[in-house]
Amino acid sequence: MNSAANGGNAAGVDGGAIQSATSTSSSTNGAVSTTGLATSTAQGAGGNGSGSSTGGSTGSTTGAAGSDGTGDDAGPTYVYVGSGSFTGEPGMITVYSLNRATKTLTLVGDHPAGGLAAFLAIDAERGRLFSADSINGGVQSFSIDRETGMLTSLGATANDNSPVFLSLTGDGQYLLAASLTEGAIDVYPIDESGKAAGSLGATAMGTEIRSVVIDDQNRVFAAAADLGQIAPYDFSSGTLTPGASSTEFDSPGQLFLASEKLYAVSQEADKLASFYVLDDALVLDWELPRLGSSTGDGADIQVTPSGKYLYATNLDPENSIVAYDISGSEPVYLGHQSTRGGSPLDLAIDPEEELVIVGNITSPTTLEIFSIQADGTLQHESTEATTFTPFSVGMVQF
């Protein structure tokens, strides 16, 4: 997700990669009945059944946990993981507390989240979380307890469109949802309780919209993979208006928008790109390779809060995070870090810029915690094995 305000996911999920990774998970894990699409999903014999009961009992005994272990005045940091599958595993959002001293996670609890919690958007300022339901359609809304990290369901918002990516407006009043198979962007107003109200209508764009992002000037960009385009829109009072000409880019997947720059990862081509945002048009800054010595689709792309480092994930068989220092006049390649598992769809960057967490959705299914070194490279710190399939990861600090 892109930030606490529009994705916490930080966790974002590339819609095309979802289908590919889900197929891989089903075929390689035989009896496994979980193929989640969000921050934390469980996989394995018995699947989400054991994960759910464990999360529930743990939540009741450790729900108050949240200390970050630093001993300073920093507030607790929580990690949210969404899950589910196309083969029967129910949608779930699992909550962990982060211990910064040990760089480990402690399970707090889990919460039902429809058919498949494919993507998470977190509004830290207002204590809200939204999840995309890629099986039943529409979105699920939750409030966040800042003391414990636990969620309270505000209910489901029905829609025939099944989103794979969510972004929140900076004022927290609207939720934008990109639906891959329907090729549409829905706009959901957020009511006073924090629940997403019914969609104001869908804007059609091609047939494969993999992500949609919005900045503080209400400029919107959407990735249409089938068209090979990143399309601009203006947003006002819940209405999307097509902007200037679209920008050509090979099979665009995840987008990340910050500080007058748009970053894009190609799902199929060996490309990462940075664009200057001028009004509602894009001007190419640079293109870089995302792969190492292997092959594989691209999935997530994110930039640290300071804007200094860029990280992107590569799926099977590469299974890596590529890192660049983008703080200077020219990007500097920092290397590839193995994710120690298969098909890392999504990663989350710590708001304090100390850690990166990535979810592996095929064997072994894990959450991997890495520390960001002084030079921007990643160092592996710990592994949180899951009994579910972690597709999208979000982090928030209160």
Q: 198 is written with which tokens?
A: 């019914």
304 lies in some domain: yes
Name the average pLDDT for the chain. 84
Residue-wise pLDDT for 49-77, tens only, equals 333 333 333 333 333 343 444 445 568 99
143 lies in some domain: yes
Q: Which one, of 346, 258, 370, lies nearest residue 306 by Cα? A: 258
Q: 266 is written with which tokens?
A: 């190609």
Q: Which one, of 297, 295, 290, lies nearest residue 263 by Cα? A: 290
The pLDDT value given to residue 73:
59
* pTM for the full predicted model: 0.84
Lowest mean pLDDT of 33-47, 81-95, 130-144, 384-398, name the range. Answer: 33-47
314 lies in some domain: yes
Residues 108, 112, 114, CA angle at the centre, nearest 5°?
150
Q: 167 is written with which tokens?
A: 């972004």
158 lies in some domain: yes
The span from the CA of 388 to the CA of 284, in Å, is: 39
Residue-wise pLDDT for 271-330, tens only, equals 999 999 998 889 999 999 999 889 999 999 999 999 999 999 999 999 999 999 999 999
111 lies in some domain: yes
397 pLDDT exceeds 50? yes
2 lies in some domain: no
Please indicate whether residue 78 or residue 65 has the higher confidence score (pLDDT): 78
**Structural domain of residue 131, as residue ranges?**
8-397
The span from the CA of 34 to the CA of 92, in Å, is: 11
Q: Which one, of 277, 378, 375, 278, lies nearest residue 327 by Cα? A: 375
3 lies in some domain: no
Q: How many domains does the chain have?
A: 1
Q: In CATH, what number is assigned to the domain containing residue 288? A: 2.130.10.10
